[in-house]
Structure 1
Amino acid sequence: MVVATPAKGKRLTDAVGAQNIAFSRPAGERVTAFGCPATTPQRGEELLYCPGNSQRAPEGEQRVPCDLGGGASGGPWLAGFNSAAGKGTVVSVNSDGEGDGGTPMYGPTLDKTARAVYDAAQRG
């Protein structure tokens, strides 16, 4: 998330675009997870993606059966991803994986707390 003061009357999202975001989405949704793993051979220089159905995981998290590798943390999970438009709806982000970031990838459920943080950032 980026918070920026409008410049010359233009919001950052108007200038560069943005993904949609949704909160409290249930597990079981088809998502595409994205990340730039720091592991070899990508070394953080290549964007990888992996489609899969999200599943419930312990402690309020969700998981998706992807192996993006270590360093992919923070990459979005997009529901309804349209590859031609490059758009989707952020429903989670990569936060952890098994071992060195392997299968599955885990991400938080963007709940009411995440919504409150997002709303506060929107208000500035």
Structure 2
Amino acid sequence: MIKTECISPSVSLVGRLYPCTVSLAMNLVGGKWKAVILYHLTDMEKRYSELKRAMPDVTEMTLSIQLKQLEKDNFIVRKVYGEKPPIRVEYSLTDFGKTFIPVLEAITAWGNQVVEEKGEFVNGV
């Protein structure tokens, strides 16, 4: 049986060509922080400062860039409350972003399994 991702020599999304659907998916959510950001938004919307606290190792510049990319790719929506400082900005998953939750759950379960079998959970760093 031919796999769906192999029925053509490439796939296209928003005018960009990819050699396969895995390449397309990794372009959208790959890298060190995008999936982590999406994970932290699965339960509720969060402010920038809440995301930064949840991911202390990410730089502010990297977090800002990744949030903008996820917004551009329609995974998250950025809502601004207020017109003059101090304004409040919250990020939340779009309906499209919510379609990624089962993938995040699978990644989380697999990561937990790896730690249980080969590593250890550590309190405090």
Normalising by structure 1, what TM-score? 0.30
Structure with greater helix percent: 2
Larger relative CO (CA 8 A, sep 6+): 1 or 2? 1
